[in-house]
């Protein structure tokens, strides 16, 4: 099977993020594999081990993204591809990402593409479905179970705490939700092997694209942190008194009534 994983480098949400001039300050920031993409990498490895084939992890980013790709290789992926846009694209969005991936997959034979349900930095959840539409293959989002039998695929899809049973066929794109598996930690032997595994680097010129082809369809006007939460209030007295005070606060302070 030809198995691909879409991976993104994201900020480590355990670390403090600084905003300067309406933009995230990347100096000194810690970057990790998007956590939902770890579920995709793990599932891809499991599918390969059960059905044979090869796992290729693909990311769009800069030179520093090689670190996250090496981690994916250490987990057990076979190959990695970095599409380096550092010198070509200043501002991109989901349309940009989809267009680049569409060009990359144009001459590839695909059986299965896995991605994270969302990226924790923007959480749009758009790239997977957009790419599947461009490649004209079926897709299922927020999966928590994947079972392949020949060309038939049975899936459990998370739908806001409930489960939807889906049966579809290969080729297929899925986005992975928490609960699908438990991503492995790279082992020391895996880390050593990862150094020798192939990591291909491409630029948009290699995909016969130019900057106009990948122009963003949206514009980020401002990035800002949410205001700090104020201390809550405890309502006292009888129930009817608490209700009256609550309604008054909703009108005068929260201004939602």
Q: What residue segments make up the domains of the chain, in order of their start?
A: 2-214, 230-257
How is residue 170 annotated by DSSP?
A: S
Domain made up of 2-214: CATH architecture: 3-Layer(aba) Sandwich (3.40)
- Other Cβ atoms within 10 Å of 28 Cβ, number: 8
Cβ(103)–Cβ(80) below 8 Å: no
**Token reading at 161:** 């705490």
202, pLDDT greater than 90: yes
Q: Where are the alpha helices (DSSP H) in 85-158?
A: 94-105, 127-135
Exposure of 2 in the CB half-sphere (CA atoms within 13 A): 10
**115: closest CA among 26, 1, 7?**
7
Residue matched to tokens 């670390």? 15
Which of 135, 107, 104 lies closest to 205 in space, CA to CA?
104
Please report the beta strands in the chain, taking only residues with DSSP state E, as ranges in sequence order.
2-7, 9-11, 19-20, 23-24, 31-33, 54-61, 79-84, 112-116, 139-149, 152-159, 162-169, 172-176, 199-202
Q: Is the model's pLDDT at 113 over the cut of 90?
A: yes
Whether the predicted pLDDT of 166 surpasses 90: yes
Asked whether the beta carbons of 55 and 5 are under 8 A apart, the reply is yes
Assign 64 to helix, strand or coil: helix
pLDDT at 110 over 90: yes
- Supply the pLDDT for residue 70: 95
Rounded to two decimals, what is the model's pTM? 0.85
Q: In a 3-state reduction of DSSP, which class is residue 98?
A: helix
Which two three-digit tokens encode residue 46? 């499991």
- Predicted local confidence at residue 22, as pLDDT: 65
Which range (83-87, 89-93, 103-107, 115-119) has the least confidence? 89-93
Three-state secondary structure call for residue 94: helix
Mean pLDDT of 74-103: 92
Query: 14 CB contacts (<8 Å, ≥6 apart)?
Result: 30
> Could you tell me the pLDDT band of residue 124, with boundaries at 50, 70 and 90?
confident
| DSSP symbol at 178 | T
Burial 68-93 (b: 16+ CB within 10 A, else e): bbbbbbbbbbbbbbbbbbeebbeebb
Reply yes or no on whether the pLDDT at 28 is more than 80: no
Beta-bridge partner residues of 11 = 31
Kindly report the average pLDDT of the chain as a whole number. Answer: 91
Residues listed for the chain? 257
Q: Is the pLDDT of residue 53 over 90?
A: yes
Specify the pLDDT at position 182. 96
């Amino acid at each position: 099977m030809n198995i691909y994983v879409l991976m993104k480098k994201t900020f480590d949400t355990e670390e403090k993020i600084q905003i300067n001039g309406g933009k995230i300050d990347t100096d000194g920031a810690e970057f990790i594999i998007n956590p939902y993409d770890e579920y995709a990498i793990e599932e891809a490895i499991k599918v390969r081990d059960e059905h044979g084939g090869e796992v290729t992890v693909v990311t769009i980013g800069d030179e520093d993204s090689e670190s996250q790709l090496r981690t994916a290789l250490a987990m057990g992926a076979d190959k990695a591809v970095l599409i380096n846009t550092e010198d070509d694209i200043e501002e991109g969005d989901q349309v940009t990402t989809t267009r680049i991936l569409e060009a990359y997959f144009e001459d590839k034979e695909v059986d299965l593409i896995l991605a994270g349900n969302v990226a924790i930095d923007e959480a749009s959840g758009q790239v997977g479905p957009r790419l599947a539409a461009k490649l004209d293959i079926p897709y299922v989002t927020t999966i928590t179970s994947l079972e392949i039998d020949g060309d038939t695929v049975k899936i459990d899809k998370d739908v806001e705490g409930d489960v939807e049973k889906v049966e579809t066929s290969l080729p297929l794109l899925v986005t992975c939700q928490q609960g699908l598996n438990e991503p492995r930690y790279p082992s020391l032997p895996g880390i050593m092997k990862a150094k020798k595994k192939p990591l291909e680097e491409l630029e948009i010129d290699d995909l016969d694209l130019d900057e106009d082809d990948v122009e963003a369809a949206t514009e980020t006007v401002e990035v800002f942190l949410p205001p700090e939460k104020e201390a809550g209030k405890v309502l006292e007295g009888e129930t009817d008194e608490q209700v009256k005070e609550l309604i008054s606060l909703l009108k005068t302070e929260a201004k939602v009534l």
